[in-house]
Amino acid sequence: MISPFNFPGILSARSIAPALALGNAVVLKPDPRTSVSGGLFFAAVLEAAGVPAGVFSVLPGGVEVGSALVDHPAVPIISFTGSTEAGRIIGARAGQLLKRAHLELGGNNALVVLGDVDVAAAASAGAWGSFLHQGQICMTTGRHLVHDSIYDEYVEALSAKASALPAGDPSTGVPLGPIIDERQRDKIAAIVSETVDAGARVTAGGGYDRLFFEATVLADVTAEHAAFQKEIFGPVAPVTRFGSVDELVELVNASDYGLSLGILAKDAFRAYELADRLPSGILHINDQTVDDESQAPFGGVGASGTGARFGGHEANIEAFTETQWVTMQADIATYPF
């Protein structure tokens, strides 16, 4: 198992627990930035619980450790949560070695806001979807697609929400904490700068102090802009307008990612019918894109991964077992030759 830095406890435990329960030994490589909370913590807990030595192991380290685990002949299954870039490499290598790889990768999740919604409620949902955990969530709302008729009102309301969310030391009670490190912060800043240079407007935030990036709203974002095309993994809400349903479908499907999709509408059944044209591993009607329950199968399509192989009874059994056909008779069968 290879787990990421964001939500390291949950995103490690969701594979550790079912794999152990189904009789496997587990080797975990947590992200080197969260080796304690995402790995060594579990080793200590399981040791204290009496799990025998060698059944669960933690190997902190970087890319070279992950590569060695993928290549090791004693590792038949790879459960990976992380970036699409890394997932493609692991998936390709696993294919060469004829190993199973369960890949839960990145997302550039769309929140569709139809013209008949309560704009204040929609903006609140949109703010939660983009700014929770500083946007460092695979399910975060990465694209706000808003109908022309309410576009300006939505941008104004979302910008007001962003401006009221200060970033700083979490111990002080502020809602936004730090970005994981300077490299990720600089990536966020570069995407914002590139998008603004290409014609988008900053209507809230846009700057940072050390690792504290402001809740940022980018208006007038188009499908050609970096903030529309890339997974930002920061507290940035790009807002794009649409007129017709066909235009909306084209905008949603312009991304290779297909993890989570939210549709806000007065008519929930209309939203459900619309979703049939919008491929996504996860769908939320009248909610934003960030939602996770341990008993629900979790995963995406396209660049977001290889389907629901995390969470849920059926998904976990399929992920961490092999099906074996067995026949048995009391005596050796007789044959005509």
pLDDT tens-place string over residues 65-94: 999 999 999 999 999 999 999 999 999 999
* Per-residue model confidence (pLDDT) at position 292: 87
Tell me, rounded to whole angstroms, the distance of Cα 68 from its chain centroid. 25
Q: How far apart are CA 158 and CA 155, in angstroms?
A: 5
Report angle CA 92, 80, 223 to the nearest 5 degrees: 75
Which sequence positions are flagged as catalytic? 104, 138
What does the pLDDT read at residue 19?
Answer: 96
Quick check: helix, strand or coil at residue 260?
Answer: strand
Domain 8-105+305-320 - what CATH class? alpha beta
Q: What angle do CA 218, 223, 226 make, to 5 degrees?
A: 60
Tokens of 117: 């919604």
Q: Would you place residue 307 in the very low, low, confident or very high pLDDT band (cuts 50, 70, 90)? A: confident
323: closest CA among 311, 334, 314, 335? 314
CA nearest to 72, candidates 57, 53, 52, 50: 57
Token code pair at residue 189 = 């800043």
**What is residue 308's predicted lDDT score, i.e. its pLDDT?**
75
Does position 232 have pLDDT exceeding 80, yes or no? yes
DSSP state letter for 133: G
pLDDT level of residue 295 (50, 70, 90 thresholds): confident
Task: Say what the pLDDT of residue 220 is.
Answer: 98
| CATH top class, domain 109-285 | alpha beta
| Amino acid 175: pLDDT | 96
Question: Residue 316's pLDDT is what?
Answer: 86
**d(C-alpha 68, C-alpha 86), whole Å:** 14
Say which residue the tokens 């048995």 belong to.
328
The 10s digit of each residue's pLDDT in 170-193 is 999 999 999 999 999 999 999 999
Q: What pLDDT is stored for residue 76 in this prediction?
A: 95
Where in the chain are the domains? 8-105+305-320, 109-285
Question: Against a cut of 0.85, is the pTM above it?
Answer: yes
| CA nearest to 260, candidates 155, 84, 106, 135 | 106
- pLDDT tens per residue across span 132-172: 999 999 999 999 999 999 999 999 999 999 999 999 999 99
Give, as one character, the DSSP assignment of residue 138.
Answer: T
- What's 116's DSSP letter? T
